[in-house]
Structure 1
Amino acid sequence: MTTSERLIESTRELLWERGYVGVSPKAIQQRAGVGQGSMYHHFTGKPDLALAAISRTADEMWAKAEEWFDAPGTALQRITGYLRRERDVLKGCPIGGLTQDPDVMADPVLRRPVEETLGRLRARLAEILTEGREHGELGPGLDPAATSATIVAVLQGGYVVARAAGSTEPFDQAVDGLLNLLAAHATTPGRAE
């Protein structure tokens, strides 16, 4: 792994563990095993490095989501796969968690990949739900835009409640409840599983 890669990966880990304000250049350098000169050779400073780390995390999150969204199956099967995929629930969402970081949210440059990723996720889920309606899998009463916003909100809220409880059970219950609500819009019972 190159020096810049080690710096980005170390920053990603630290952002997820501590948040932006809790990450110092020294901590990044120590985790990456590089000196100050190496860090500033590759990046202009902490904000530049944080942007690279957040952007990489957003890209990876999106790639994982697309694996499920592009998989074969009905709209509900693809969404179910995405919702039930393996996650480190108790660590929280590495992108969603940044919305709780006031320094990230106050900086338009750092906020942009967070905002874009969550917006892109809502839009893609709405597309899949629209496909489901068009193919007759879902009833016409389902609002794809509102439902996609609900899916994202339940996921992000599920992380928060699970972390507060110190258990994945609240997250799993939230996903189960969401899938039950989606199944109620299926034109054929049991299509969500």
Structure 2
Amino acid sequence: MARQQDDARERLIEGTSELLWERGYVGVSPAAILRRSGVGQGSMYHHFQGKGDLVLAAERHSAALMQEELRSVLTGEGTAFDRIAAYLLRERDALRGCRVGRLVADPEVVVNDQLREPVRETFALLHKFLVDVIEEGRAAGEFAPELDAEETADTLAAVVQGGYALARAEQSVVPYERAVRGALALLKAAAPSAG
């Protein structure tokens, strides 16, 4: 019985996470959550106090997945440039956008500190990983010493998130891919000159 309850809870979280990615907070109704997760109404209110509680659990689930992906790519092996390139070139569905980043476009999330926290925490971790990699690259001579790690980290994050917005506006991955290639070209240009 406990396993069935755990399974229902996980299905509710995963279903809500997918719906948030597709529709945002406002577009997620309890009825849609129940349809997507395939559980009964009693399960939803057995495991969660209401929509806000379930949405927060779903956000934390999405944030944990993204944080693990970031950790894997940005703290792994390879040169600093290679790890940043792996982050930027990682396979994504540019037309769907970022399952975490899209949440800050939702007014209900932005005004609620608790709902905004998983997003803020995830982007803070991304910033830290990027700063660390850029600083490693400067120390190894891959990047010029004057390259500002904090500013560059924010720029790289903005390229990905902005690239999603451009792709969605055009309904084409081409603007996203151009933005990523442009960022990599700028980063290569930040290498110390051979002379």
With normalisation by structure 2, the TM-score equals 0.94
Size of the aligned set, in residue pairs, is: 189
2:87 to 82, 88, 93: 82
Please give the per-residue CA displacement for 1:148-192, whole angstroms capped at 9, x wherever unaligned: 000011110000000111110100000010001000112377xxx
Indicate which of 114, 117, 124 corresponds to 1:109: 114
| Unaligned ranges ≥5, structure 2 | 1-5
Which residue does the alignment assign to 2:3? none
The aligned amino acid for 1:131 is E
Provide the rounded CA distance (Å) in 2 between the counterparts of 1:66 and 1:115: 16
Q: Residue 159 of structure 2 corresponds to which residue in structure 1?
A: 154
1:122, CA displacement in angstroms? 1.1
| CA RMSD, Structure 1 to Structure 2 (Å) | 1.2
Offset at residue 53 of structure 1 (A): 0.5
Q: CA offsets, 1:125-164, max 9 Å, x none?
A: 0111011111221111200000000001111000000011
Query: How far apart, in 1, do the equivalents of 2:91 and 2:27 lie?
Result: 27
- Contact (CA 8 Å) 1:69, 1:78: kept in 2 or not? yes
Question: 2:160·2:180 contact (CA, 8 Å) conserved in 1?
Answer: yes
Alpha-carbon distance, 1:65 to partner: 1.4
**Which one of the candidate residues 118, 123, 128 is aligned to 2:123?**
118
Q: Which one is further off, 157-166 or 132-141?
A: 132-141
Query: Counterparts in 2 of 1:180-191, with a 5 A limit?
Result: 180-187=185-192
Residue from 105, 114, 117 that aligns with 1:100? 105
Matched, 1:168 2:165: no
Query: Counterpart of 1:90 in 2: which secondary structure?
Result: coil
Aligned twin of 1:135: 140
Divergent runs of 4+, >6 A: none
3-state DSSP of counterpart to 1:9:
helix
The DSSP-based 3-state class of the residue aligned with 1:83 is: helix
2:21 and 2:99 in contact (8 A); partners too: yes
CA contact (8 A) 1:19 1:98 kept: yes
- The answer to whether the 8 Å contact 2:20/2:28 transfers is yes
d(CA) in 2 for partners of 1:68, 1:112: 23
Structure 1 unaligned regions, length at least 5: none
| 8 A contact 1:29–1:36 mirrored in 2 | yes
Q: Is the 8 A contact 1:137 1:188 kept in 2?
A: no
Pairs within 5 Å for 1:6-17:
6-17=11-22
Q: Secondary structure at the match of 1:167?
A: coil
Q: Render the CA deviation track for 1:96-115: whole Å, top value 9, x for unaligned.
A: 11110000111110000101
Whole-angstrom distance in 2 between the partners of 1:57 and 1:33? 19
Distance 1:188 1:9, change over 3 A: farther
Q: Residue 50 of structure 1 aligns with which residue?
A: 55
